[in-house]
Structure 1
Amino acid sequence: MNNSLTELPFPILFQDNHFIIINKPAGMPVYTNRHSTQKSVEDYFPLLSKRKDGPWLVHRLDQDTAGCLVIALRKQALINAQSCFEKKQVTKIYWAIVKGKPSENSGHINAPLLKVTKDKQWSMQQDPKGQAASTKWKLLGSNGDISCLELQLLTGRTHQARAHCAILGHPIIGDTIYNPKNNQEPHLHLFSRQISLPLSPPLSAVSEPPEHMLFILKKINN
């Protein structure tokens, strides 16, 4: 085993014989990239299981997004969990710190998203030709300048939370793609707060915000 893999750089939120749920750090990729020396979640799989087959990532999180990430330790567990995602049975709750304050306390965004490339930079933009994307949101707290939103992703499109917050008119702090102007925050202020899968037994975990979000959350009056 690689000597650099002597300890896990992320907390384990849940563990049994079939699954592990970790609190993925912001900035850590989930997949191994042979062109990069940066450690990924997959690089630590030998510490999670000694089985020759697996573990496997059940789903993914963007590199800059922290929070709940489900890992399967058995092939049948992977199949069962991915079936929940395909059937849209998974509850996915995110927290985002955004610019400004919405005029309402809650809402529902239905905005199809299409991948668009411009000047060698791609992003997900609202377009009727895109894939259906649906997000419920509610205001958790605000000081007028910034707000904390709870986002329930009813679909699982790439950059969905980030794009939908921008479409709402309240882009996420630290988002260099959807909030590039006057953006002095080095970290994306988005994390996967909770995930629940209706398996038998049910699979669920709740994660704590990353440090950079905790610092700004203290500025928000709940």
Structure 2
Amino acid sequence: MTGEELQARLLHRDAMMLVIDKPAGLPVHSGPKGGESLEQLFDALRFGLPRAPALAHRLDKDTSGCLVLGRHRKALARLGDLFKSGRVSKTYWAVVEGTPDTDEGLIDLPLATKEPGRGWWMKVDPAGAPSKTRFRVRGRAASSHGGGDLTWVEFEPLTGRTHQLRVHSAACGFPILGDAVYGQALRFGGPPLHLHARAVTVPFAPGAEPVTATAPVPEHMRAALAACGAEV
């Protein structure tokens, strides 16, 4: 991806913050071994400011959609407080394998690191950090590949744990399509992860209208969502 291509994915811009449509498959920052990352392109998003914007939160490498950036130190401090206190509203769309038992509900399962030294892999653990996710079924479809039913689910994470939506959905019996870590997908050659940060609402300035941005459905999720009844 080039800086110009990243500029074309801009969803919101003001003096304090940006919201971009992160592409699936590109990490937000380089790992210990280096490699290409979205952060390396942020200089193209300065828009006249002396410094590039910085991440206000994270999305997994294979998750697409709304990513919030702060444009300077003061903005980043404010955004950090909003995310930490749970005042930023986030909506995710996913296609899952199987289907929830109810059309909507709350998943309340604490999460902890799976094993020391295994990086960001997580597990359900009664002694872990409190983790809550609201969900709502938006549509259903019979799978065209013979692997069972597919369901379009809207998630609202009420906490911000690593891999929260992926672990919660898998633990409840409906893993996200294409999840090669927590689901049944093949590590290589399977479908991409069908998880998309659809919308974000940030109440940045007290007394002002919140900033809301919506990211278009990525190409790799269109067919499965359409089969579940989404207009994409």
TM-score by length of 1: 0.90
List gaps (5 residues or longer) in structure 1: none
Q: How does 1:105-184 map to 2 (within 5 A)?
A: 105-117=103-115, 123-144=121-142, 145-180=149-184
Letter in 2 for 1:86: K
Q: Deviations over 1:153-204 (max 9, x none)?
A: 0000000000010111100000001113568633100010111111224222
CA-based RMSD: 2.2
- Which deviates more from structure 2 when the two are superposed, residues 9-18 or residues 119-128? 119-128
Q: Verify the 8 A CA contact 2:110 2:126 in the aligned structure 1.
A: yes
Q: 1:153 to 1:72 in 2, by over 3 A?
A: same
Deviations 1:33-64 (A, max 9, x none): 473342x2211111111534441110010000
Deviation at residue 102 of structure 1 after TM alignment:
1.8
Name the CA shift for 1:87/1:185 in 2 (closer, same or farther; >3 Å).
same
Alpha-carbon contact 2:97-2:150 (below 8 Å) kept:
yes
Q: Which residue of 2 aligns with 1:8?
A: 5
In 2, are the aligned partners of 1:138 and 1:149 still within 8 Å (CA)?
A: yes
Compared with structure 1, are the counterparts of its residues 118 and 16 closer, same or farther at alpha carbon in structure 2 (3 Å cutoff)?
closer
Give the secondary-structure state (helix, strand or coil) at the position aligned to 1:117: coil
C-alpha contact 1:110 1:135 (8 A) present in aligned 2:
yes
Name the CA shift for 1:46/1:141 in 2 (closer, same or farther; >3 Å).
same
In 1, distance between residues paired with 2:2 and 2:224? 32
How does the TM-score come out when normalised to structure 2? 0.86
SS across alignment from 1:186: coil
Equivalent position amino acid for 1:92 in 2: K
SS state of the match for residue 143, structure 1?
A: strand
* 8 Å Cα contact 2:24/2:63 also seen in 1: yes
- Aligned partner of 1:32 in structure 2 is 30
Which residue of structure 1 aligns with residue 20 of structure 2?
Answer: 22
Which residue of the partner structure matches residue 96 of structure 2? 98
8 Å contact kept, 1:25–1:67: yes
Which structure 1 residue ranges, 4+ long, deviate > 6 Å from structure 2? Answer: none
Query: CA separation of 1:167/1:74 partners in 2, compared to 1, >3 Å: closer, same or farther?
Result: same
Between the aligned partners of 1:101 and 1:6, the Cα distance in structure 2 is 39
Distance 1:107 1:27 in 2: 30
Equivalent position to 1:190, from 182, 195, 219: 195
> How many residues are paired up?
218
> Does 2:51 match 1:47?
no
Runs of 5+ consecutive residues of structure 2 not aligned to the other structure: 143-148
Q: Amino acid of the residue matched to residue 46 of structure 1? A: D
